[in-house]
Amino acid sequence: MNKGAGKSSKHAADSSTFITSYPLANLIPARFVSDAKRVYFLGSVMKTYLYIAIGAVAGAIARYQLGVWVTQWRGTSVGFPWGTLLINVSGSLLLGFLFRSFRSGLDNRNLQALLGTGFCGAYTTFSTFSLETINLMLESHTPTALLYVGISMVMAPAACFVGYLLAGAME
């Protein structure tokens, strides 16, 4: 009888410990543990989306401001795209730094979502391309990395040009 009671009370204690670890836990009865898991999961996902969104807003503003600054510094003459180059290189530098930091022990998913996915994702997608290329090389897939770079450098501008032609055809 004591074993059964102990087991039952242990299960109840585990459920209440589980429930109390969630925000607003006193509002969720213990019998709805699976519902609490769902609520926590949805809250966790939404929190991650919020970090990504905040980072993306900051990244987009930084990209815009840096572009404005470079245009003011270099002038508005048509020529080499210095602003885009600076954005792509600095974004790649930042994402590489963040990747190494997160890989070396800074295990903070919220910070990864805020800075890596959000900020760098809005600041430049070229940084992601660069990181994927480096990852392939680090995993000893250098031929695949070179193929990825070659295809990307040919297909992306070609697709952009096709999009340009399609838009012109619709005018």
- Residue 118's pLDDT band (boundaries 50, 70, 90)? very high
Structure tokens at 13: 């204690």
| CB burial string 77-107: b at 16+ within 10 A, e below | eeeeeebeebbbebbbebbeebbeebeeeee
What does pTM read for this prediction? 0.62
Average pLDDT on 134-138 reads 92
Q: Give yes or no for a contact between 28 and 35, defined as CB atoms under 8 angstroms apart.
A: yes
* Confidence tier at 27 by pLDDT (50, 70, 90): low
The pLDDT tens digits for 77-117 are 556 678 888 888 898 899 889 888 887 776 688 899 999 99
What number of residues does the chain have? Answer: 171
CA angle 49, 55, 61 (to 5 degrees): 135
Chain segment 30-66, per-residue pLDDT in tens: 555 565 565 666 678 888 999 999 999 999 999 999 9
